Amino acid sequence: MPRLVRLSALIRHAGDWSMLSEGFSGVHVVGLSSFPVRPGEVSLEVVSIHGDEPKVVREFISRLMRLKGGNIVKVLHVNRVSRSNYETFLLLRYSGVLKYIILNNGGLLAYSHVHSGLKEFTAYYLNYNDAEEACSEFRRINGVELVECNVNWFRGRGPLIMSYYGGLFRHVLTDNEYRVLKLAYEMGYFNGVRQVRLSDLASLLNLSKATVDHHVRSGLRKIVRLYLSSINDSRLGSTNPP
């Protein structure tokens, strides 16, 4: 059975829309789906834009929509999921979508994330040389600073798909939602018989009970939504094979 190779890349892409995130601390952009509408020319991208501060997220999206030049052709649609989470549909110039370097070298893109002016990718290959060639291509692109590009044999345990969704769940949640849910789980809030009350969590986190309740509900809603979406996608794939 062929072994998997994992590529992990961290990139600063001068002149690209991703550089806008450098001035918006706490804003995360996670890639959800992409499709080359006109290969070599334009790509349709769907991303999740979220953060802890709704006002900061809205300002980032507003600036993104007004952005001139760079890689953006047009912001097609912004769908409000919650006060601090928006699905955004973008048309991007194909030449500036770095993920296609991964795909065109035979890689499976598992994770795409933009934050603090950086692009972060995780991808898997069957051929070690193909993964190394992707790193080499990144280095040859003008305006691309390859902060790191690591290629290693994958030695992960458990289902690979869960490793992917674990990373995706982490960055679909805001930092506060993640912090509250993590503590709630560790303290036994979700046990059949609860080991801790909401007020106890609020005290430990130095937050109001209402705020903790909001983060728990909002975080769980996002996780369930993403999980159900992935299940629906897999069922559609099984009933409609290519």
> Can you give the length of the chain in residues?
242
164: Cβ contacts below 8 Å, ≥ 6 apart = 110, 111, 122
pTM above the 0.75 mark?
no
Which residues lie below 8 Å from residue 180, measured CB to CB, with a gap of 6+? 201, 205, 207, 212, 215, 216, 219
Give per-residue pLDDT as tens, 134-187.
999 999 999 999 999 999 988 765 445 444 445 555 567 778 888 899 899 888
Is-contact 128 151, C-beta < 8 A? Answer: yes
CA 74 to CA 122: how far, in whole Å?
26
**What's the pLDDT at 176?**
86
Q: Which SS3 state, helix, strand or coil, does residue 109 take?
A: strand
pLDDT tens figures, 46-105: 999 988 889 999 999 999 999 987 789 999 999 988 888 899 999 999 988 999 999 999
CA separation for the pair 174, 180 (Å, rounded):
10
Find out whether 84 and 50 touch, Cβ atoms under 8 Å: yes
Q: For residue 70, is it left (φ>0), alpha (ψ between -120 and 50) or beta?
A: left
